[in-house]
Amino acid sequence: MRTQVAIIGGGPAGLLLSQLLNLAGVETVVIERKSRDYVLSRIRAGVLEWGTVELLRQARAGDRMDREGILHGGCLMSDGDRVFRIDFHQGAGRPVMVYGQTEVTRDLYAAQDALGATILHECEDVALHDLDGEAPFVTLTRHGQPLRVDCAYVAGCDGFHGVSRPAIPASVRREFEKVYPFGWLGVLSATPPVSDELIYARHDRGFALASMRSPVLSRYYIQVPLTDRVEDWPDDRFWAELKRRLPADVAARLVTGPAIEKSIAPLRSFVCEPMRWGRLFLCGDAAHIVPPTGAKGLNLAASDVHYLSRALIAACTRGDLAGIDRYSAEALARVWKAMRFSWQLTMLLHRFPDHSPYERGMQEAELDWLRNSPIARAALAENYTGLPF
Ligand code: APR
Ligand code: PHB
């Protein structure tokens, strides 16, 4: 099989890239390890920056998002019972869109189907070859049959545990990592959200987040020790702990119900440099991981896709290689800024087991500054709604 761009991974990054390339007349083959149903069963964050919203529209995958997504003009922050609001319009002149990542992925699959795109699911033993030469290729096994895909470029969109990043020689690769000493326990429930806007709650017992997917579907998180398991958190215990961490008046109106999904995710910051090696380009979680505070994961994948799609379209349709030479530096400049924001929000809102009273004092001072300074809130709004790309 031959194509122009082989895309490893059919998550949101791989599908969005494929969609933008196909719309510009560039041929792709998406190579995904799992089944489509499996990919669509993963639950991730649900806040889209304005740039991501526009990119999905440009990719002709934004119609349902525009119908069913919820525009949010601000979010709330609390510290115990003290609450203040970050106004996104006032601070940054734009809102965010609350729309689940699972739905984004579903819409991208539908858009790819409408274009007749080639997506190979259930691919095993995926291996990348001759990435530093003129004619790279990908080998894999599918339904027991070996397959070879020859291409001009390979896009590594296969997430944190994929094969693309390790294909960059260790002598070239630099990795930067910070692991946080706690996880997030997330619950999805068929209950009306407790608040019209997201609540980021700092509390002495640990961080909590009240989020949503729709007017009848809520998503809540609490910070838990990494040693905890999902079985340690029956629904009653989860709701009781969440109530303690939310402001009392909010907790009083919380509607609880059975958890539809419950999982614990560790928190990590990770960057791999460079994001290009020869004819391989890393994109999305394959190159970087952010902690979920601030919901930057999917949005960073989207900005990578923006830079990479533009670069590959120029290379494949006009022989213009300037964009692909620029890709790594251009994408990384934005990646590090989103890293900084996710790290800052994580450090501000969580209870760290090793924090001294001094560091707790720093958190309180920063929250007090945000509460009282329109400039501080505007800076947060600028980052939360998404730096330009
Ligand atoms: N071969 C083929 N596909 C692979 C391989 C492999 N060896 N390894 C992983 N994959 C697939 C995974 O099954 C997954 O569907 O690559 C896809 C990567 O998707 P994501 O992990 O969702 O990463 P990405 O598309 O970069 O999305 C970035 O979306 O999923 C979230 O947490 C993620 O928020 C982040 C954002
Ligand atoms: C979510 O709705 O899952 C969500 C929202 C905001 C975050 C993280 C997760 O910062």
- Predicted TM-score (pTM) of this structure: 0.97
> Is 384 assigned a catalytic role?
yes
Under a CB-based contact definition with an 8 Å cutoff, are residues 48 and 99 in contact? yes
CA dihedral 188, 190, 191, 195 (to 10 degrees): 50
CA dihedral 22, 306, 46, 366 (to 10 degrees): 180
Q: State whether the beta carbon of 126 lies less than 6 angstroms from ligand 1.
A: yes
pLDDT tens-digit series, residues 264-296? 999 999 999 999 999 999 999 999 999 999 999
Q: Which of 41-55, 242-256, 273-287 has the weakest average pLDDT?
A: 41-55
The continuous run of DSSP H or E covering 104 comes out as helix 101-115
Given the candidates 3.40.50.300, 3.50.50.60, 3.40.50.12780, 3.40.1170.60, the CATH classification of the domain at 5-72+94-176+268-346 is 3.50.50.60
The structural domains of the chain, with segments of one domain joined by +, span 5-72+94-176+268-346, 180-267+351-385
If you search the block for the tokens 């905890």, which residue do you land on?
Answer: 228
- How far, in Å, from the CA of 232 to the mean position of ligand 1? 28
Q: State whether the beta carbon of 76 lies less than 6 angstroms from ligand 1.
A: no
Residues 6+ apart with CB under 8 A from 68: 99, 103, 214
What is the chain's mean pLDDT, rounded?
97
CA distance 367 to 25: 49
Q: State whether the beta carbon of 28 lies less than 6 angstroms from ligand 2.
A: no
pLDDT in the model for residue 310:
98
Q: Taking phi first (over 0 means left), then psi (-120 to 50 degrees means alpha), and beta for anything else, what does residue 295 get?
A: left
> Is 34 assigned a catalytic role?
no
Amino acid code (one letter) for 31? I
CA distance 121 to 51: 29
- Strands 28-31, 5-8: pairing is parallel
> Is 200 assigned a catalytic role?
yes
Choose which residue among 42, 44, 47 to substitute to test ligand 2 binding: the one with the highest number of ligand atoms within 8 A of its C-beta: 47
pLDDT tens-digit series, residues 142-156? 999 999 999 999 999
> Is 388 assigned a catalytic role?
no
Hey, what CATH class is 180-267+351-385 in? Answer: alpha beta
Ligand in nearest proximity to the CA of 221? 2
